[in-house]
Every structure is written in structure tokens, then in C-alpha cells.
């Protein structure tokens, strides 16, 4: 994180020149889940490519926009389209938007993803609250010289995903008439889908869902002192459990089918986080 602080200050100054909003909640929207912005009272939309020092998303269905808006009294900045390690971004680039959110006033991060189900009790379309994660990425956004102005050299990862936020999400799901699953998310680099042997290995070490994102953002958020809520949309069953071959189109199709339930759940939680 060394050397990022000055860039972050420059980026923050530029962004704050485009909006008067001071957000308290940051949201990262995964594949097929960008529809949440339709629930917001949108004030400002900025393309990633226009923001100084900000990395750009290249994946289909990731709009690449920073959206400022509100739900009730909750002021929100949402990444409509996330960044991935497999796109060729350095890990510190994946940390950059989260650090920017913190410098703009965010205290809570809600991160979502499309994931493959490894728990046999899951079915495509389920939503899962992330209770913990296993980092199998070959890199880490916190490696390198540390800047104490951002966070500690050795950040604690105990209860990385906030139990109180998970309980709030479960209460919201129950009120809406469905059960929110719980589970451990395993993060891999991608972009290839996992082999059946890899899935058996990840099941054996306690994984319930697998994907190619979220872990770098969640680790960065905890390093920065943010509370974190993670929600996975189970878009397919993992290799060895699925009956069909995997494709990004099918992932998007399932995610879009679950968008309404996902959006209603997250919108309800976000409203509860208002001042």
C-alpha cells in the first residue's frame, strides 16, 4: 500500500469535485447483479475510465461506473462492475477503489459476487452470506511496504465478515420469505473454471462456494477498518456437481434471474444502515 496515499488523495479530490455526497456505505456489485443501482436515488454517475488513477473493468456485464446515490437516509457509493485479478490488474489495483471509498467516508462495505456452489445442499439461485473465506489467490493486496495512514502492517482478520451484518441480512431474508444460506467462500484467480479435483480439495478444506473475486476487496476493507458484509449468488453448481459445462453466459443468466431477490435483500439491509 506504500505510495498509494498521494494518488488516493488526488483521486478523492477529483471525485469530490463531481459530487457533494459523503457516502457511508460502499457496495461492490458482482456479475449480473448491477441492477441494484435501479433501487437507488442516483445523484452522480462517473465512468471508471474518467477517474484519475482508477483501474478499468473489462469483463462483459460489468458496466464500469461509480454510482453515488441513496436508499432512505443511507448514502451509498456503488461499483457497478468490479475489477478482477484475472484481467491482469495488480492486487494493489483491486485495493484502490476500496481505499478510495474509505477516504471518502465509507465505514461499511457490502460486497457481492456470482459463485459456484460446492455445498451439495445449495441450488442455483440461492443467496449465501459469507461467514469466512479461504484465500487461494497467488497474491495479496497487502503485500509490500505498508503505509500506516491506511492500516496496520499486520491486520487482524478475526470476524472479517461482520456477524451483526450477517444477522441483519438473515432477518431481512426471513421477512421476505426465503432462507439466506451461510458458508465459506473460496477465492481463486481464474479465469478458468475449477477442475473436479480442485473442487474436491476445496470441499475438503471447508469451502461452500467458489469464485474469482471478493477476497482481495474484503481483506482490504478489513485492513482499512471497515465492517464487511459479503453476499454470494450461487449461479451454478461447481465442477463435479454440475450436470452441464460451465459458461459465463449461464452464470449471467442465473444471476439475472436472482437479481430481484438479491436487490430486495441488499436494499433492505442498506436502508437499515442509515443514519
**Model confidence pLDDT, tens digit, residues 44-103:** 999 999 999 998 877 655 578 999 999 999 999 999 888 899 999 989 899 999 999 999
* Residue in 248, 155, 193 with CA at minimum distance from that of residue 202: 193
Residue-wise pLDDT tens digits, 115-148: 999 999 999 889 999 999 999 999 999 999 999 9
Distance between CA atoms of residues 93 and 139, nearest Å: 12
Q: Is 84 a catalytic residue?
A: yes
Say whether 192 counts as a known binding-site residue: no
Say whether 133 counts as a known binding-site residue: no
Q: Is 53 a catalytic residue?
A: no
Distance between CA atoms of residues 52 and 69, nearest Å: 21
In the structure grid, which three cell numbers stand for residue 108, read together? 461499511
Of how many residues is the chain composed? 275
- What pLDDT score was predicted for residue 64? 87
- Whether the model pTM is above 0.85: yes
Q: Is 89 a catalytic residue?
A: no
Which listed residue (24, 62, 115, 162) is catalytic? 62
- Asked if the model's pLDDT at residue 3 lies above 80, the reply is no
Q: Is 250 a catalytic residue?
A: no
Which listed residue (119, 173, 236, 255) is catalytic? 236
Higher pLDDT, 221 or 30: 221
Q: Of the given ranges (52-56, 172-176, 218-222), which has the lowest mean pLDDT?
A: 52-56
Which listed residue (70, 87, 95, 129) is catalytic? 87
Q: CB burial class (10 A; 0-12, 13-18, 19+) of residue 132?
A: middle
Query: Which CA distances in Å does 129 have to 15, 165, 171, 185?
Result: 31, 9, 12, 9
Q: Is 161 a catalytic residue?
A: no
Residue-wise pLDDT tens digits, 5-49: 999 999 999 999 999 999 999 999 886 677 888 889 999 999 999
Distance between CA atoms of residues 248 and 83, nearest Å: 16
- Asked if the model's pLDDT at residue 206 lies above 80, the reply is yes
Say whether 83 counts as a known binding-site residue: yes
Q: Is 133 a catalytic residue?
A: no
Q: Is 213 a catalytic residue?
A: yes
Q: Is 90 a catalytic residue?
A: no
Residue 175, Cβ neighbours under 10 Å: how many?
A: 11
Residue with cell 452441464: 244
Which listed residue (79, 212, 218, 258) is catalytic? 212
Domain 4-272 has CATH 3.40.50.620: no
- Asked if the model's pLDDT at residue 275 lies above 70, the reply is no
Which listed residue (114, 219, 221, 237) is catalytic? 114
Amino acid at each position: 500500500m506504500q505510495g498509494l496515499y498521494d494518488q488516493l488523495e488526488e483521486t478523492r479530490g477529483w471525485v469530490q469535485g463531481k459530487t457533494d455526497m459523503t457516502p457511508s456505505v460502499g457496495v461492490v456489485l458482482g456479475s449480473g447483479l448491477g441492477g441494484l443501482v435501479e433501487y437507488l436515488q442516483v445523484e452522480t454517475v462517473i465512468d471508471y475510465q474518467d477517474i484519475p488513477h482508477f483501474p478499468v473493468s473489462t469483463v462483459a456485464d460489468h458496466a464500469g461506473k461509480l454510482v453515488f446515490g441513496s436508499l432512505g437516509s443511507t448514502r451509498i457509493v456503488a461499483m457497478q462492475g468490479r475489477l478482477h485479478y484475472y484481467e491482469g490488474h495488480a492486487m494493489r489495483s483491486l485495493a484502490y477503489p476500496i481505499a478510495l471509498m474509505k477516504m471518502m467516508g465509507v465505514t461499511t462495505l457490502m460486497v457481492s459476487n456470482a459463485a459456484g456452489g460446492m455445498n451439495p445442499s445449495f441450488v442455483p439461485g440461492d443467496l449465501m452470506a459469507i461467514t469466512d473465506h479461504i484465500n487461494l489467490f497467488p497474491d495479496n493486496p497487502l503485500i509490500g511496504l505498508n503505509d500506516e495512514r491506511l492500516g496496520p502492517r499486520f491486520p487482524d482478520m478475526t470476524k472479517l465478515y461482520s456477524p451483526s451484518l450477517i444477522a441483519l441480512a438473515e432477518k431481512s431474508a426471513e421477512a421476505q420469505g426465503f432462507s439466506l444460506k451461510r458458508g465459506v467462500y473460496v477465492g481463486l484467480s481464474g479465469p478458468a473454471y475449477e477442475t473436479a479435483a480442485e473442487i474436491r480439495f476445496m470441499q475438503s478444506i471447508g469451502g461452500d462456494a467458489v469464485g474469482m473475486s471478493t477476497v482481495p476487496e474484503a481483506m482490504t476493507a478489513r485492513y482499512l477498518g471497515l465492517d464487511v458484509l459479503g453476499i454470494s449468488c450461487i449461479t451454478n453448481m461447481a465442477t463435479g456437481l454440475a450436470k452441464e459445462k460451465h459458461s459465463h453466459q449461464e452464470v449471467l443468466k442465473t444471476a439475472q434471474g436472482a437479481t430481484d431477490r438479491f436487490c430486495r435483500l441488499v436494499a433492505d439491509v442498506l436502508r437499515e444502515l442509515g443514519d
